Structure 1
């Protein structure tokens, strides 16, 4: 009996494909099972690694990637990173400036994940995030946020408006109190409130994802500002029609303000594994 080689080949290919599909299905099940068993902070790390893989200074992740990362952050709770409101980080231990605790979960050239623990009345002064996309998640407590974006010169959109003192005109983006649980905030290199100040209304913790992180060597150092009323130096020029109270002049400060004290501590929450 002559065997039809082509028929046998087709039959063999079908069987091989079925075997391969079975192996692939098992692998997908193992991968899904592994993903489900991963801690929330591990899933956050894995998502950040994917989202920021092809990003860099001034390069914003795609809208789909932003939503993917935001979805994880929106569900995060203090216990996911080993925090509770009764930890010493959230108590004022002296009558001086409240100490802010800084916990670094991960830092790489592409992105960083960190947590700021603020006792009541602690302040993170007005500062910027040059070239960064930043996700901020308030894990618990209440925090007042005031943020600004630069106002472009109508004559030259690549320049901002400056006054005689060198201060730059900015528009208020946010001026409100946020109470956990609330949605994740996102700021962009040139929008969304890139310059902002945090004031703890109650003890609180905020988790930040920065892509890329600060790097003095690459020109992404943190700059602090003093905000001055728009009317303080606008003169006779009508730069802002309508509602001048929504604007301010931001003047750069030299170095870090003396009343901003952040103490780094070891992160002791669920571990992150960089596969």
Structure 2
């Protein structure tokens, strides 16, 4: 069943063009009526950085080197995951016209929506690199290890896609999942090493970086971009396996529940 969904998608023609077109439309619509346009994708993490910097560095004295950049990379990874998952919970309802009145595979709708978020992510990531290398004091410059952000982002993308599939298909039979997910992400935010010193996080929650795949992605992203070292490969493989397993479960739900979405929503 799972292989059937993926095979059907790969056999269709003009996939890349259609996905990219949908992603661009989705991205433009998000900022269409805002005068600052694309810069709103950057303003949100900057505002978050300012708030958490004051709380955790100035008041609580975390004493993390290059703490603004430490926050920056953690927040843009976190925001991609949250925006991708919360924004797709009702996707089978809000974009019903795409799979009912066209030959689009449902999976394409998810992929294109996450691609639109990808544009914003890499815009923010470029801003992070500029900030870290040009404005952050007493740091080493980025190295070739920074390229590890690409496989790490692929891991994050698969995890976000898998979670989106699971949530949106549960929404077909239980609309309360929207409120539950909002509460859960708030809880998970404080159980991720976004603003905590890594040693403090690991001491308080030993092995939690293996339970929470987002924690592992954030930790490895900082190793690659700020420390100029290789990621923790054991953690990297574990997080990828986690994402693939969830993706398989998500496509299973899409086959079982997604096929009846048009009738139930």
Query: TM-score scaled to structure 1, two decimals?
Result: 0.26
The structure number with the bigger radius of gyration is: 1
Which protein has the bigger strand share?
1
Which structure has more RCO (C-alpha within 8 Å, separation ≥ 6)? Answer: 2
Query: TM-score scaled to structure 2, two decimals?
Result: 0.27
Which protein has the bigger helix share?
2
